[in-house]
Amino acid sequence: MSIRERLSGNEATAIAMKQINPDVVAAFPITPSTEIPQYFSTFVANGDVDTEFVAVESEHSAMSATIGASAAGGRAMTATSANGLSLMWEMIYIASSLRLPIVMALVNRAVSGPLNIHNDHSDAMGVRDAGWIMLFSENNQEAYDNMLMAHRIAEHKDVLLPVMVCQDGFITSHSIENIELENDEDVKKFVGEYKPQHYLLNADEPIAVGPLDLQGYLFEHKAQQADAMRAAKNVIKEVSADFEKWTGRKYDFFEEYKLSDAEVAIVCMNSTAGTTKAVVDDLREKGVKAGLLKVRMYRPFPAEEIAEALSHLKAVAVLDKSDSLNAAGGALFEDVTSAMYVNERYVPMVNYVYGIGGRDTTEKQLESVFLDLVEIAQVQNVDNPYRYLGLRKGEN
């Protein structure tokens, strides 16, 4: 029986961690993720978990400690944001290359500089190719649910890759919403015990972790990581199906909101999806066949499935809450357009970079995107595919 509560996204994440009761949590505070280890440390102090909590001196050390704990055979977790993730950068790659099923809560925030503590997706997009599975969360409930599923995915024998569970800084991390929590025993049963096959503290199988890997082997090891990422798609689908049987809450690679009969649609991630749904509902009442595709699973990227879901549309806008600064569109736009091309689906597409540094994105602005799409659908031509949404005039 689910338990109704009112929690912020950070507190919901910390409670999920408490229910999982990992062996080690190592963390260093950084806004807006600070509350997660702060809440969790109270669970440690109160004896609610038997986790070894390691208060380290930097985010680089936090990821290093979780790598050591995971390599030794423990279930390890951490949390960070923005520049904290940047400071981990070296160790982020090492965690995935060592095939360690670490789970990290990433509370998305703009990466400095200039200094900004508010939400965009520049931190997550900066490590999108680092070999981590990446799940995005529209709201507090999804952040909690994704965290409960993360270890089942990461620790699967066909995967053994670390997982980031992302949510929008302040927008969901600090906002209180109604949420359904599962009881502790059911969570423990669902997540299960971690039983690593190879680990440093196994006296019966002495191994080295992180050895020098030169020309003779590195290529093959990277190919194995890529194979594991491809295998993760089926595992994520299986875990999500088991989760739905348990809780009744359904998750897929992405959510299709009024998409099946839509003519124009927005593709986006995280909390923006909630605002977009309200705009879709309003436009439907006005006779505009608008829809939404909300990406939940960003890595591995469900290219074939997204191409199929968007193939019937007359025009699509992909919204990126970070700018790749490459003069060729944001990261999500590049992935979606590549998916469409490779799968031989042609739909006029336009990219909007929006919300940088926590800039508000309003229903009126999102409605303007849909109206642009209606015009594009009529003329079947995109004069400028690279656009900004909410940028003050005269400052671009």
Please tell me the predicted confidence (pLDDT) of residue 394: 62
Residue 183 per-residue DSSP state = P
Please tell me the predicted confidence (pLDDT) of residue 2: 86
> Can you say whether residue 6 is alpha, beta or left, with left for phi > 0 and alpha for psi between -120 and 50 degrees?
beta
| Residues carrying CATH 3.40.50.970, the chain | 3-247
Question: What are the strands of the beta sheet with 386-389, ordered from one edge?
Answer: 254-257, 290-295, 264-269, 315-320, 349-354, 386-389
Please tell me the predicted confidence (pLDDT) of residue 211: 85
CATH superfamily of 3-247: Thiamin diphosphate (ThDP)-binding fold, Pyr/PP domains (3.40.50.970)
pLDDT at 365 exceeding the cut of 90:
yes
pLDDT in tens, 313-339: 999 999 999 999 999 999 999 999 999
Please tell me the predicted confidence (pLDDT) of residue 396: 45
- The predicted model gives 160-171 an average pLDDT of 98
pLDDT at 395 exceeding the cut of 60:
no
Instruction: Please answer whether residues 108 and 33 qualify as being in contact, where contact means their C-beta atoms are separated by less than 8 angstroms.
Output: no
What rounded mean pLDDT belongs to the chain? 97
Q: Which residues of 169-181 are buried (b: 16+ CB within 10 A; e: fewer)?
A: bbbbbbeeeebeb
Hunting for tokens 């309200």 — which residue is that? 278
The pair phi, psi for residue 126, each rounded to 5°, is -70, -20
Angle between helices 184-191 and 9-20 (to 10 degrees): 70
pLDDT in tens, 12-35: 999 999 999 999 999 999 999 999
Listed in sequence order, the residues at least 6 apart from 71 whose beta carbon sits closer than 8 Å to its beta carbon are 98, 100, 199, 200, 209, 210
> Can you say whether residue 269 is alpha, beta or left, with left for phi > 0 and alpha for psi between -120 and 50 degrees?
beta
| Residues carrying CATH 3.40.50.920, the chain | 254-389
- Give percent above pLDDT 70 in the chain: 99
Please tell me the predicted confidence (pLDDT) of residue 393: 82
Please tell me the predicted confidence (pLDDT) of residue 217: 95
Instruction: Please answer whether residues 245 and 168 qualify as being in contact, where contact means their C-beta atoms are separated by less than 8 angstroms.
Output: no
pLDDT at 84 exceeding the cut of 50:
yes
- The predicted model gives 53-58 an average pLDDT of 98
Residues 254-389, CATH architecture? 3-Layer(aba) Sandwich (3.40)
- The predicted model gives 229-256 an average pLDDT of 98
Please state whether the peptide bond connecting residue 114 to the residue before it is cis, i.e. omega within 30 degrees of 0. yes
